[in-house]
């Protein structure tokens, strides 16, 4: 596992060193987005926790914390809100387990402590994880991407929301639940991330790389780029900026980060197809 964490760190920091501007998603803060469901949500007592799994997640979280401290790494406001919600789930679980242990514990005079070693290790591992998540949350709030031209950004966000409604583009996560935990509403974080990346390219003329393990974000970005390829300007800004200052998407599959989308390359292909069609018509 330490080798995977080292690879994770090396790749993240290599991307950060090569790219101009990065907008990060929460999904890359762990090796898999299912780890909470797998290792925490159905556990009722500290002794039932997989200490090794939690310690491994803590290692990934520490790397992610170092990553978001970099000067060219930013997050959107709803990324922070999602992380706040997730951090609360962990805190609520700790409180629940604490109460559960107190109700069930039986004092054994032969022990020096009311908590046996397994309970102690489980509690320490989840509390240590919570501490690093709290640190990440504080740092995320200091790394916000805030667009200066609100009307232009809102227009882009509306386009992202429209694209996301297409069949097969985005999963309805409000229908999913982790035990008793259910996401009451879609915060539309994916759309916010996509809109922010296009804004930074079009308005600030800055190449922008999204880093995620969420395939929905990639599909939203691709569909938005396809729509923009049919336009020359958007809100007074030249669409050509998406070729000169591309929007990119790096996708994390749990082991490796791969460049899965680059608007400069995609626009080149789309424009060639358009020119070929016009030549055939003429």
2 found inside a domain: no
279 found inside a domain: yes
Tell me what pLDDT residue 248 has: 96
1 found inside a domain: no
Among candidate residues 121, 146, 171, the one where a domain is terminated: 146
Q: Are residues 186 and 67 in the same domain?
A: no
For the chain, how many structural domains are there in total? 2
Among candidate residues 146, 170, 188, the one where a domain is terminated: 146
Strands 73-74 and 177-178: unpaired
Tell me what pLDDT residue 173 has: 58
CA distance 188 to 94: 28
pTM comes to 0.87
Of 248 and 269, more confident: 248
237 found inside a domain: yes
- Which DSSP symbol is given to 219? H
Q: Are residues 123 and 212 in the same domain?
A: no
Q: Are residues 156 and 264 in the same domain?
A: yes
Q: Are residues 46 and 117 in the same domain?
A: yes
19 found inside a domain: no
21 found inside a domain: no
Q: Are residues 164 and 142 in the same domain?
A: no
Is the CB of residue 267 less than 8 Å from the CB of residue 281? no
**Model confidence pLDDT, tens digit, residues 108-149:** 444 545 557 888 899 999 999 999 999 999 999 999 999 999
Is the CB of residue 271 less than 8 Å from the CB of residue 229? yes
Is the CB of residue 57 less than 8 Å from the CB of residue 32? no
| Mean of pLDDT values over 20-29 | 94
What is the separation of C-alpha 34 from the centre of its chain, rounded to a whole number of angstroms?
A: 13
Please, what is the Cα angle at 171 between 165 and 174, to 5 degrees?
Answer: 100
Domain span at residue 46?
30-146
Q: Are residues 51 and 109 in the same domain?
A: yes
Q: Are residues 158 and 274 in the same domain?
A: yes
Q: Are residues 139 and 162 in the same domain?
A: no
Please, what is the Cα angle at 69 between 187 and 207, to 5 degrees?
Answer: 70
Q: Is 138 exposed, middle or buried (0-12, 13-18, 19+ CB in 10 A)?
A: exposed
Q: How confident is the model at residue 105 (pLDDT cuts 50, 70, 90)?
A: low
Beta bridge partners of 144: 75
272 found inside a domain: yes
Is the CB of residue 181 less than 8 Å from the CB of residue 89? yes
């Amino acid at each position: 596992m330490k080798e995977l964490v080292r690879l994770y760190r090396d790749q993240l920091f290599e991307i950060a060193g090569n790219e101009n501007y990065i907008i990060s998603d929460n999904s890359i803060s762990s090796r898999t987005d299912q780890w909470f469901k797998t290792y925490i949500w159905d556990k009722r007592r500290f002794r039932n926790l997989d200490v090794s799994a939690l310690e491994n997640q803590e290692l990934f979280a520490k790397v992610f914390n170092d990553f978001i401290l970099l000067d060219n790494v930013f997050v959107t406001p709803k990324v922070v809100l999602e992380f706040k919600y997730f951090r609360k789930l962990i805190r609520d679980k700790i409180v629940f387990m604490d109460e559960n242990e107190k109700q069930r514990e039986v004092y054994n005079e032969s022990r020096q402590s009311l908590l046996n070693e397994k309970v102690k290790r489980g509690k320490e591992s989840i509390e240590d994880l919570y501490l690093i998540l709290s640190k990440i949350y504080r740092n995320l709030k200091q790394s916000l991407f805030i667009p200066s031209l609100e009307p232009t950004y809102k227009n882009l966000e509306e386009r992202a929301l429209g694209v996301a409604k297409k069949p097969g583009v985005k999963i309805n996560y409000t229908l999913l639940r982790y035990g008793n935990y259910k996401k009451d509403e879609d915060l539309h974080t994916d759309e916010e991330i996509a809109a922010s990346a296009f804004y930074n390219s079009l308005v600030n003329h800055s190449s922008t790389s999204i880093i995620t393990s969420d395939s929905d974000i990639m599909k939203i970005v691709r569909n938005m780029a396809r729509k923009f390829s049919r336009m020359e300007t958007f809100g007074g800004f030249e669409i050509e900026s998406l070729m000169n200052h591309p929007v990119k998407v790096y996708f994390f599959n749990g082991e490796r980060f791969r460049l899965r989308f680059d608007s400069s390359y995609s626009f080149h292909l789309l424009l060639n197809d358009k020119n070929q069609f016009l030549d055939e018509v003429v």
